[in-house]
Structures are given as structure tokens and as C-alpha cells.
Amino acid sequence: MCHSTSIQTTLASTNRFGTADLDLRPPEMVRSTMTAWIQACPNCGYVAEKIGVELLTPDLVRRVLAGDRWRELMFGWKGPDLASAFLRASLLKRELGQPHDAADSALRAAWVADDRHDRVLSIECRKEATQLTDLALEGKDPDDEACRRMRIRQVDILRRAEIWTAAERLCEDLLDGSPEGTAGIVLRFQASLIQKRDTYCYAISDALRWTRPPLEPGPEGDRQQPAAGKTAPWMSALRWLTSLRR
């Protein structure tokens, strides 16, 4: 956008072990590669996944860069630079009419704050993410599968932002549909966390362990796996996770 040249980091490959967090932050090792998820121009501050190839209307970008929020993130920002980059990406995507992607970027800024143990910033970013998710869901069919997945993730965003009433209401609304499999397990787990006012970060595997029956005594006193029907949630977990990944 400003025709300057800079050196940027790209991610050649990575891997993941385990399940994502309830807000779909990926597990290690990919969760620690966020610095390579976005590129920022050190001259004008423009951000994109690849600033050298993404083509946006220059007038649109200049309008966003001239705004008060952008200037605050560039010149008055006191938090992590990476969080600022994701929030700037969120501003651009919202201006482009992509509230879902804007919400993703705001949530990624919250993940940066989580890693810095900055509770105030993480709540601020999650509040922004949930507002953008609401915007993305406006006029959409709540029974649409993609919308339902967004709403399930929003329960976790609301819980960790300590927006308890909205989190409880949304969770109850989703549970009224009697969801089955991993989605139902995650929502029931969320309901228990909301009731306890628990803001901790949990993974999908934590929800599955929470609902799994204890091991049963075997004929020689050792502990055996439960009967096959009792572990069905584990059988469907990978399929559900795959459907959530974009």
C-alpha cells in the first residue's frame, strides 16, 4: 500500500497434537506460530496474511488508516505488537464487510493477550469478537450448521469475557435443541463452567474427559475401559473438530 519493502516471516509447515481449545485455538505446535499468521508493514502499519499479494482498494485502506481507532492501535498502543496487528486486521476486514473474519482476528488478539497473562486486554478483545460475531449472525438462519458452530464458539468467548448473563442465555438456547455428540457435550460442559463462574481456558478434550465414565473394575481388580457404547463421544470428536476448521 505504501510501496515500501520489508522482510516478513512465513510459516513453511507445522503440526498439531491434541484437540483445540473450546474457542477453537489450535493445539501445539501450531498455536505458538501466531507471529507467522499475519504480516505487518513497518512503514504504514498495513496488515494482511500476505501483504505482498493481497489486493485491496487503496482508497478503502487509506480511509481505515486515517481513522481514530487505527491511529490508537498504531501510535497510542501499549499492548503487544502482535495483538495490535490482529486488531488492525479486524478493522480492515470489518470495513470489507467480512464480520466473521473480523471476529476471528479480534479473537486472535485475545489469544496473544492470554499468552501475556493480560486479563484486561483479553476481555477487551473478546468483547470485540463477540460484537463482531453478532454482526456476522445478523439475518442468518440460526439453524444453519455454520451459524450453529459460530454460536457454540461464542459461548466460550462470552464466558471468558465474563459476560455471564449472555453466555448462560446462549448456552441454554443451544441446549434447548438437544444437540448430540461432541457439540452437546461441549455445551453441557460450558453450562457447568458458567454456573461456577469459571473463566479458565479449556480444550475440547477436557469436555470429553468431563463426561467420560470412570474406568470399571476388571475381573482381576484392574481398571477396564467402559463398554463400547459409552465412549461414542470420542468416536465423533475428530469428525466434529474437522467440521469446525475452516
Residue 101 lies in a domain: yes
Q: What is residue 176's DSSP assignment?
A: T
Within-domain flag for 75: yes
Q: Assign residue 215 a region (left: φ > 0; alpha: ψ between -120 and 50; beta: otherwise).
A: beta
Q: Please check whether residue 16 lies inside any domain of the structure.
A: no
What Cα–Cα distance (Å) separates residue 16 from each residue in 26, 30, 184? 7, 6, 24
The pLDDT score that the predictor gives to residue 215 is 54
Residue 217 lies in a domain: no
**Domain membership flag for residue 223:** no
Task: Provide the pLDDT for residue 234.
Answer: 42
Q: Please report whether residue 12 resides in a domain.
A: no
pLDDT tens digit sequence for 59-79: 888 888 889 999 999 998 999
Q: Is residue 196 part of a domain?
A: yes
State which H helix or E strand residue 47 sits in: strand 47-48
Average pLDDT over residues 169-176: 96
Owning domain of residue 59: 30-210+233-241
Are 167 and 222 in contact by the 8 Å Cβ rule? The answer is no
Residue whose C-alpha is closest to residue 8's, from 51, 46, 44, 45: 51
Per the DSSP assignment, residues forming a β-bridge with 21 are: 203
How confident is the model over 136-164, as pLDDT tens digits? 999 888 788 899 999 999 999 999 999 99
Locate 110 and state its grid cell: 485475545
Residue 19 maps to a domain: no
Domains contained in the chain, number: 1
48 DSSP β-pair partners: 39
